[in-house]
Every structure is written in structure tokens, then in C-alpha cells.
Structure 1
Amino acid sequence: MPLQTLPLPPSELGESPFWHPKEKSLYWCDIQGQAVHAWHPDSGTHRQWHMPCEPGCCAPATGGRLVIGLRNGFYLLDTAKDGDDPTALTCLALLPADQHDTAVLRLNDGRCDTAGRFWAGSVITPRTAPHAALWCLQAEATSATGYRVRHMAGDNFTANGLAFSPDNRTMYWSNTPEHRIDRFDFDVSTGEITNRQQWVTFGRKVDGQPYGGRPDGAAVDMEGNYWVAMYEGACVLQLSPAGKVLQRIAVPVQCPTMVCFGGDDLRTLYITSARAGRPQEEREALVTAGALFSIEVGVQGLPVNFFRC
């Protein structure tokens, strides 16, 4: 089945899609639009919840809620409440003020691991120094707030591409402006990451040469392949665990941003894209920048992990 453009309004900066298996719905963030969205394909129902600032990432949480990374920390969203209800959002934990200047830093790409921890990287604007970092949120009964936030890694400009291998032994994390994807050894029992190594790098822009884009959001399938949206590259790449390109899926917008697997069999790849900052011709095209897409693929994706509150 060819790539489908979904009947949804475009996002300014679509990110962090995930398929909710219980609700049979697709969720995603519009970072610049400051909203979280949900779409039920069977009924066509589309909902949104307005946020007080940019939602960089989201994931399902136990109790029918969402965990969200906003600019300054981690929050729970009660999706049973109306999108304009200010009581729908509850703060779980703020990032340490001495390590996270929200004037230039905000949370960006993230997801949960199979142990129910929520991981989120940040982005720095302007990109003057590699001060973006990776944070991990988990419930902890001994903490005064009930939650613990740990600083896990740094040396990044725009944290993206967070994903875990099916055997829980590898964590992937990209630095988008550096055109680089790193990988860590991952211990799911403790949540520790070690042995950071450069995994894959992509070519930079060179005048007169084709440009393939830079790695943005990603997801991993059951076979351990890494699917990554190539920002400004108008495509999604499927990479083997060895980093070899297995497949290139062209998309009709220049800036795909992230992918996830969904549908009952987890063989539908959903793709978000960006509209903010794109040229007028892209915003007015028949398939507009910021659109969402889906395509059937021949491999099953990993199911989404829930945050354990």
C-alpha cells in the first residue's frame, strides 16, 4: 500500500507520535503549536489539549493518562478532561534549575523504556554550545515528590532519535545538528547507560551535492532495525543493527520529524513532519509541510511502553 496522507490539520512541528493500543489511537505533539493531539482512525475523531508551553514529547501512562515533557519538566495529562481545562495537567517534577536554563533549553524527543521510566532529551536555542542533555524520570517512593529525575548524558545540541533495542541491551540517541546517531550499552534493570559510541553519521550540506538530511526522531522494529526520519531529507530510512541502510521511504514533504509503529498488528508506520520555518511554497503545497502520513511496512514494530506512575 502506498504512502497515505492522513486527514488531519498540519502541525507546526509534529513530534513524538505513539500508537495507544488500548484506545486504538494515534497521539502526537505539536511543539510549536503548543498542543497534544489524538486521532482515532476508525471513527475519525480528533482531539487536542492546549499546553502552557512547548510539549517536546509524550508517552502513555498508567491510569489512562499521558506523561509529557514540557519546557521545564515532566507533567501528567488527564486525557479524560477537556483540552482547555487547566486542571488536566499536573506537574510531576521540574528539571534542576542549576542544570537547565529554560530561557535557552527545553525538553524535546523522548519515550519510555520497558521498565516504565520516561526518558527525554533537550534542545538548546541558539545552538552555541552542546549543553542539551538526556534526562530520566521514574517513580520513587522515597522521594519527597514521589518522582526522581536523573541527568544521564550530555554533549548534544538537539537531542533526538531516542530508542531501545528489542533485547533491552542498546539505547540509541542522536545529535541532529551534528548528523550523528550514538548508541549506549543499556541495563534495563538499573536504568544505567554506559559505553557511548558513535554509531552512524550522515553527510553534511555541500553546495552542488545532493543532501540526504539529518537524523531526527526514530523507532525500532521487532527485528532490531532502526527507522529514522531524515529532517530536510524528505525520507525515512530503515537501518540495520549494523547501521546499514536497508530501505528508503520517500515522503512528499521536506522535513519528516519522527516515526512510530501502530495499528492492531504494529505494521503501520506513522510519520510526523514540520511546517514551522519552512518556505511558503512548502506550506501552500498540495501536500503541505506539517502533514501526517502512514504506510504499511513488512515488519512489526515494538509496542509503546507505558510510564509507571
Structure 2
Amino acid sequence: MNWQAVTTQPCELGESPFWHPQEQMLYWVDIPGKKIMRTRGATGPTESWLMTAPHALEPGCIAPARQGGLVIALRDGIYRARAWGSALQLVVPFAHDTKTTRFNDGKCDPCGRFWVGTMYEPRDARKAALFSIDCRQGGLPQVELKADDAITANGLAWSPDRKTVYWSDTPNHIIRAWDWDETSNVMSAPRVFHQFPAKPQGWQYGMAGYGGRPDGAAVDVQGNYFVAMYEGRRLLKLSPAGDILADIPTPAQCPTMPCFGDDDLRTLYLTTARHKRSAAELADMPLSGCVFSMRMDVPGLPVNFFSD
């Protein structure tokens, strides 16, 4: 299996990729660059949309909407764009301290609710949480706290049978799973899906002995969970039981999130990061921050759309 570069102009921190089946485009965000990106693939141009004032805030994640456009999690709340580059409409403001907390990983569930987790940037306390936002009934959005006791929300995904939800806390090197009822939106039976070893004290780029920590994820039609291992230079394929089935090297030390795309959903796309990485690392891997792709034998699940 070989990775191909989809883009050659790197982002600082690529995240939240999804394949839009109607538009035949790959979308993702550059969080510190405050941009939303999209492309038709390696043969097409890459477009960028800068989040400008008064919304010059980092887009943590995005998802496509059934009625067109995007739902976007910015630092201070959830916004709606009816079309690419259009005005942003506030859906839900959040009262967290935006000096220390921002939205990070998120996506829609199979029913059309938008789920989004926060990141506590000082990383010295478990103040991150996971929320679901339901706009399907009209009126005021229904916001529910789904999980907390984390530092950096990541790894959100659902199983093909829509009965399991996954969520990870990156600094604590843990992926958790819950039983999930899609009708009531109730999570139950919390458990550890996979616990990874902690980062060795004093570890730096070029040293052995560290396999990275769980970042963004995607699931294939067989229920296997693909997770980007940030700083581990690898993508792991975990079985529905949490066992490691494959360890796939990546062309960047810091892969951030995979997604499945193209007509057959057998192209695995991967965003990566270069933000705050060492000069030695970037010299060794100059395409860090670019998007890569690889063909897979088994298709993945399609993106879920936001309903409002």
C-alpha cells in the first residue's frame, strides 16, 4: 500500500476531512490557518476559505449539510454556512472560556445531529467535553452533554450498525466506546476500546520507543476503526473488539485524521500536521501538513450529513 500526495501546499494543521459525494470534493480544515479547504483531488486546484472578521476564529471541524453548505465549529460556537464562502449564521453560542478552550474534532451522527468535542489548550486539567446538537425539529437547537473528563476530544466515529460510538482523549492515549441508541441519543455501557502506552518522558523526534497518540478516526463497512496516531508516524486499523489488525506507516510524523472517499469509498484520505514541528522533522518529511491518499480493499462508511 502506497500513499499518494493529494496536495503539495501544506497546511499548518489539517483536520476534519470528509468526502462530499454530490460535489465529488474532499473538504478539510487548517485549524491555526483559520481556513476551510477543498479540492477535487490531485488533478484539481485546492480552494481555501479564510474565516475573516468578525469570525476570525479557528475552525475545529466541519460537516456537510443536507440543505447545502456546511456546519462549522469555530472557537466560540457552532455556525452554519449555506454555501461555500457565504455569510456565517450562528446556530449555537457556547459559554466556555475561549482563551483556554476551543472546539476540536467533530462530525454528524447517522441521524443528522452534529457532535463536537472541545479541547482544553493548557492540557493540565480534564476540562474537555463532547456535545451533540440537534436541529432537526426546528425551533431552538437541542444541545446535550454526551461525555466529559477529557483534555482533547478526538476520534469520534460510529459503527456500521449504528449501535456503538467511539471517542478518544488524545493526551491520555485512550479510545473509549459506548453503546448508543440512535433514537433516544443515549450512550451507555462505557468501556475502554484501546489504551495506548504514554509518551516516554523526554521523547523527541528521531527517538525510538513511542508509537504516538490517538487523533482522528474513520470506520470501514466491516466495523474496523482507523485511527491516526499523532507523532507516531502511523495509521492503525483496529478491529471492532479493539485489537490492532494493521499498522500502516504514514508519510508524516503527525497524521491527524483519515476519511473514506471517492465513488466506491475505497480511497482513504489522510490529513497531517506541521504546526510547531522541529526543523529536523520537516527537513525529513517536507510534505508534512499535506493531504495524502491510499486505495483500500474494503470501503469505508460515507460521511453523515447535518440536518436542519
Please state which band the TM-score falls in when normalised by the shorter chain. Answer: over 0.9
- 1:1-309 matches, within 5 Å, as 2-41=2-41, 44-51=44-51, 52-81=56-85, 88-95=87-94, 97=95, 100-139=96-135, 141=137, 143=139, 146-206=140-200, 210-285=209-284, 287-309=286-308
Name the amino acid aligned to 1:72: D
> Contact conserved, 2:69 with 2:83, CA < 8 A, in 1?
yes
Find the counterpart in structure 1 of residue 204 from structure 2.
none
Offset of residue 282 of structure 1: 2.7
Say which SS state the counterpart of residue 118 (structure 2) adopts: strand
TM-score by length of 1: 0.93
Name the amino acid aligned to 1:173: W
Q: In 2, Cα distance between the equivalents of 1:199 and 1:239?
A: 9
Q: In 1, Cα distance between the equivalents of 2:7 and 2:114?
A: 30
Q: In 1, Cα distance between the equivalents of 2:43 and 2:141?
A: 36
Percent identical pairs in the alignment equals 48
Regions of 4+ moved over 6 Å:
none
Q: Which runs of 5+ in 2 are unaligned?
A: 202-206
> Contact conserved, 2:29 with 2:62, CA < 8 A, in 1?
yes
Offset of residue 101 of structure 1: 1.8
Q: In 2, Cα distance between the equivalents of 1:286 and 1:196?
A: 38
> Contact conserved, 1:152 with 1:193, CA < 8 A, in 2?
yes
Q: In 2, Cα distance between the equivalents of 1:273 and 1:142?
A: 37
> Contact conserved, 1:13 with 1:275, CA < 8 A, in 2?
yes
> Contact conserved, 2:6 with 2:42, CA < 8 A, in 1?
no
Q: Map Cα deviations across residues 149-179 of structure 1 (whole Å, 9 max, x no partner).
A: 2211100000100000001110000010000
Name the amino acid aligned to 1:274: A
TM-score by length of 2: 0.93
Offset of residue 209 of structure 1: 5.3
Offset of residue 7 of structure 1: 2.9
Name the amino acid aligned to 2:298: V
Q: Map Cα deviations across residues 174-199 of structure 1 (whole Å, 9 max, x no partner).
A: 01000000001111112121221111
Q: In 2, Cα distance between the equivalents of 1:30 and 1:92?
A: 22
Q: In 1, Cα distance between the equivalents of 2:138 and 2:36?
A: 31
Name the amino acid aligned to 2:288: A
CA, structure 1 residues 282+170, in 2 after alignment: closer, same or farther (shift >3 Å)?
Answer: same
Say which SS state the counterpart of residue 283 (structure 1) adopts: helix
CA, structure 1 residues 192+79, in 2 after alignment: closer, same or farther (shift >3 Å)?
Answer: same
Offset of residue 11 of structure 1: 1.0
Q: Which runs of 5+ in 1 are unaligned?
A: 82-86
Say which SS state the counterpart of residue 183 (structure 1) adopts: strand
Q: In 2, Cα distance between the equivalents of 1:255 and 1:158?
A: 16
Name the amino acid aligned to 2:147: A
Q: RMSD of the alignment, in Å?
A: 1.6
Name the amino acid aligned to 1:74: I
Offset of residue 285 of structure 1: 4.1
Q: Map Cα deviations across residues 86-109 of structure 1 (whole Å, 9 max, x no partner).
A: x521111112x2xx2222111100
Q: In 2, Cα distance between the equivalents of 1:283 and 1:206?
A: 22
Q: In 1, Cα distance between the equivalents of 2:236 and 2:300?
A: 14
> Contact conserved, 1:184 with 1:197, CA < 8 A, in 2?
yes
